[in-house]
Chain A
C-alpha cells in the first residue's frame, strides 16, 4: 500500500483512538444523501413500475379496440402471427346492476374468455379467494371492494341486470334477470380497479349485452423482451383496412399518469442531487480545514522524501474513502429501507395521520418500491465522484505547499 493511502486511512481512523469527528461528520453526510436518493428514487420508480405492471396485468401490453369486432377468431389468428406476440384474448366490457340481498351496486363488468384469458391477464395471481377454474357461464368473480359493498362471499348468488333488460322493456318483452354464483374475489391493489368490477365469461357477457358473437377488443400479451410500440405498429399494419380497429400500447393508455410520475421523479432527483452537492461542499471544507491544520505536517512529508503530488493524494484519498464508505452505507441501508418501505410508510403515516390521503392520491394500497441496478450505479458514481472532487480540491491546496514554507507557517 502506498504511504499516502496508508496515511489517508490512518488520518480517518487513527491508531488506538475512536474515529475522528471529520470522518463521522462527512461519512454521515454522504450516507444521508445517498440514503435519501435511494429511497426517493426507489419509491418514485416503484409507483411507475407498479402502475405499469398493473396496467399490463389487467389489459396486456397491447389492446386492439373497435366498436364491434365480430370476426374475433380470425382476427386473433392474424394478430398471433405478428412477431413478438405471445398470447391474445378477446374481451367485452360494460356496466350492469348487481344486487345481493337487496343491496344494489353498479359495477363495470368485463367478459373474458376462460380458455385464453390467463395467458394475457393473470387473474389467478390476484385472487384472494376462489379459483379461475370455477369461472363458468353461471359464475362471476368480484373485485374485493364490490364483494365488500354487496356483502357477498364465495358461493353467494347475486342477481345481474343489464341495460339490455331496459331496452327489452321498451320493446314490451321481458328478460329475466340473471343469477350468478360468486366464484372468486380478486384484489389488484389499485383502489379504482378494486372498487367495483365484476368479471364473467365472455359468453355470459355477450348474452347480457346482446352482442351475439362480437367482442369489444382483443388484449395482447407480448413475448419477453418484445418492444410494445414496435409490435403495436406491426399489428396496426396487418389489421384489415377500414376496419376501424386500432392497436395501442399500455404506455399510451396510461400516458398521462406515467408522464406525471416521470416529471415528479426527475424533480426529486434534481433536488436530492443538490443535497449531495451540498454534502460534497461539507466534505471539501472539512478537508480544506484539515489541509490548513496540517500545513506543517505536509511540509514534513516533503522532508521525509515525499513529492507534492503524493502528499496531495493523501488528501484526495480521504475524500474518496469518505465518499465510498458513505455511499456503501447509504446504498445498503437504503435497500434495506426500500425492502421494508411499506411498514415504514405506514408508521410515518400513522404518526402524521394521512395514510388515507396517500392512498387516495396514488391509488395504491401498498407503497411500492423498485430500483434498478443502473439507478444504483448512477447514484454510486455520482456520490463517490462528488467526494473525490472534494478531495481533489483539498489535494490541490496541499500540492501547492512548499515544504520549507509549510514548516515555517504558524
Chain B
C-alpha cells in the first residue's frame, strides 16, 4: 500500500443536533492508490457525503487520521491542489463564463499564466465544450455544466478526484455521457477517482466497489 495517495484510518463522525447525537460511522478505514478508481454506494443517509467531506478535509472527524500523499498537512491550502471535487449540484460561479470557471480553480491555488490558460482551453475542448467557453452557467445545459465542473476539478492536475453523485441531477442519457467522460479522463490522466453513486452500473466500471451500510464500509469487489 506504499503507492496509496489517500489514506484514512479509524474515522469516526458524530453529528450533534440539539441534545441528540447521531453517529454516522465509528470506525471507517479507506485508502486509494494512485490512478485507481473506487466507487462507494449506500442507501440515502448512510453517510456517503459525510465520508467524502472527511476525505476532502472539508469537515473534521471526531477521531481518526487522514493523510494525503505528499502533503504534510490536510487543509484549505493543500486541498485546491491535491483533490478535485465534483458535486451533484455543479456549483459553478454564475458570474463567470465556462472558461473562467475552470480557471478559477487555478486562480485560488496559484497564478494564471499563459500555460494555465492553455490548459483550461485544452480541458474545455476535452470535455467537448470548445465552442461554449464564453457561455455563462445559466446559458449551459445541466450536462454541460457538469462537464465544466469536471474540467474545473481537473484543472490543477489533482492526485485524486472526489465525485459525490456527479450525475444525480442529470437524465439517464446525459448521465451516461458525463460518466463516460469522467471515467475516461481519470483513466487517461491516471488520476485516482472516488465515485459516490447510486447506480450499480457506474459502480461496476470502477476498479473497486464499496458499500456503506450502518456505519461500516464493506468492500463488494
Residue B96, interface by CB 8 Å: yes
For chain A, residues 287 to 339, give those with C-beta under 8 angstroms from any C-beta of chain B.
Answer: 296-297, 299-308, 310
Q: How far is the CB of B208 from chain A (nearest CB, A)?
A: 24
Partner of B108, one of A11, A17, A304, A404: A304
Partner of B93, one of A300, A307, A403: A300
Which single residue of chain A is at the shortest CB-CB distance from B105? Answer: A304
For chain B, residues 89 to 110, give those with C-beta under 8 angstroms from any C-beta of chain A.
Answer: 89, 91, 93-97, 100, 104-105, 107-109
- C-alpha spacing A6/B80, complex, angstroms: 17
Q: How far is the CB of A24 from chain B (nearest CB, A)?
A: 15
Query: Which B residues are CB-close (under 8 A) to A307?
Result: 76-77
Q: How far is the CB of B130 from chain A (nearest CB, A)?
A: 18
- Please tell me if the beta carbons of A14 and B105 are within 8 angstroms of each other in the complex: no
- Please tell me if the beta carbons of A11 and B95 are within 8 angstroms of each other in the complex: yes
Q: How far is the CB of B64 from chain A (nearest CB, A)?
A: 17
- Please tell me if the beta carbons of A15 and B104 are within 8 angstroms of each other in the complex: no
Partner of B134, one of A3, A15, A301, A310: A15
Known: A15-B134, A16-B134, A404-B53. A305 touches B79 (CB 8 A): yes
Residue B56, interface by CB 8 Å: yes
Residue B127, interface by CB 8 Å: no
Residue B136, interface by CB 8 Å: yes
- C-alpha spacing A297/B108, complex, angstroms: 14
Count contacts on A: residues with CB < 8 A to the other chain: 26
- Please tell me if the beta carbons of B96 and A15 are within 8 angstroms of each other in the complex: yes
Residue A127, interface by CB 8 Å: no
Partner of A15, one of B95, B107, B152: B95
- C-alpha spacing A296/B94, complex, angstroms: 12
Partner of A297, one of B59, B93, B97, B100: B93
- C-alpha spacing A304/B85, complex, angstroms: 8
Which single residue of chain A is at the shortest CB-CB distance from B100? Answer: A15
- C-alpha spacing A307/B109, complex, angstroms: 10
Query: Which A residues are CB-close (under 8 A) to B79?
Result: 303-305
Chain B 68-87 near chain A by CB (<8 Å), digits 1 or 0: 00000000111111000101
Which single residue of chain B is at the shortest CB-CB distance from A403? Answer: B58
Residue A7, interface by CB 8 Å: yes
Partner of B100, one of A10, A305, A404: A10
Q: How far is the CB of A118 from chain B (nearest CB, A)?
A: 66
Partner of A305, one of B80, B87, B96, B136: B80
- C-alpha spacing A306/B79, complex, angstroms: 9
Q: How far is the CB of A289 from chain B (nearest CB, A)?
A: 15
Which single residue of chain B is at the shortest CB-CB distance from A306? Answer: B108
- Please tell me if the beta carbons of B58 and A404 are within 8 angstroms of each other in the complex: yes
Query: Which B residues are CB-close (under 8 A) to A302?
Result: 58, 76
- Please tell me if the beta carbons of B93 and A6 are within 8 angstroms of each other in the complex: no
- Please tell me if the beta carbons of B134 and A305 are within 8 angstroms of each other in the complex: no
- Please tell me if the beta carbons of B56 and A6 are within 8 angstroms of each other in the complex: no
- C-alpha spacing A150/B41, complex, angstroms: 106
Chain B 102-144 near chain A by CB (<8 Å), digits 1 or 0: 0011011100000000000000000000000010100000000
Query: Which A residues are CB-close (under 8 A) to B100?
Result: 10, 15
Query: Which A residues are CB-close (under 8 A) to B76?
Result: 302, 305-308
Residue A278, interface by CB 8 Å: no
- Please tell me if the beta carbons of A6 and B58 are within 8 angstroms of each other in the complex: no
Q: How far is the CB of A21 from chain B (nearest CB, A)?
A: 13
- C-alpha spacing A312/B105, complex, angstroms: 17
Q: How far is the CB of A188 from chain B (nearest CB, A)?
A: 59
Residue A407, interface by CB 8 Å: yes
Query: Which B residues are CB-close (under 8 A) to A11?
Result: 95
- Please tell me if the beta carbons of A407 and B136 are within 8 angstroms of each other in the complex: no
Chain A 1-30 near chain B by CB (<8 Å), digits 1 or 0: 001001100110011110000000000000
- Please tell me if the beta carbons of A15 and B108 are within 8 angstroms of each other in the complex: no
- Please tell me if the beta carbons of A305 and B91 are within 8 angstroms of each other in the complex: no
- Please tell me if the beta carbons of B136 and A15 are within 8 angstroms of each other in the complex: yes
Further contacts, 14 of them, CB under 8 A, given A302-B58, A402-B59: A3-B104, A3-B108, A10-B95, A15-B100, A296-B89, A299-B91, A304-B79, A304-B85, A305-B78, A305-B80, A306-B80, A306-B108, A404-B53, A404-B58
22 contacts between A and B (CB under 8 A): A7-B104, A7-B107, A10-B93, A10-B96, A10-B100, A11-B95, A14-B94, A15-B136, A16-B97, A297-B94, A300-B93, A304-B79, A304-B108, A304-B152, A305-B76, A305-B77, A305-B80, A305-B81, A307-B76, A310-B108, A404-B53, A407-B91
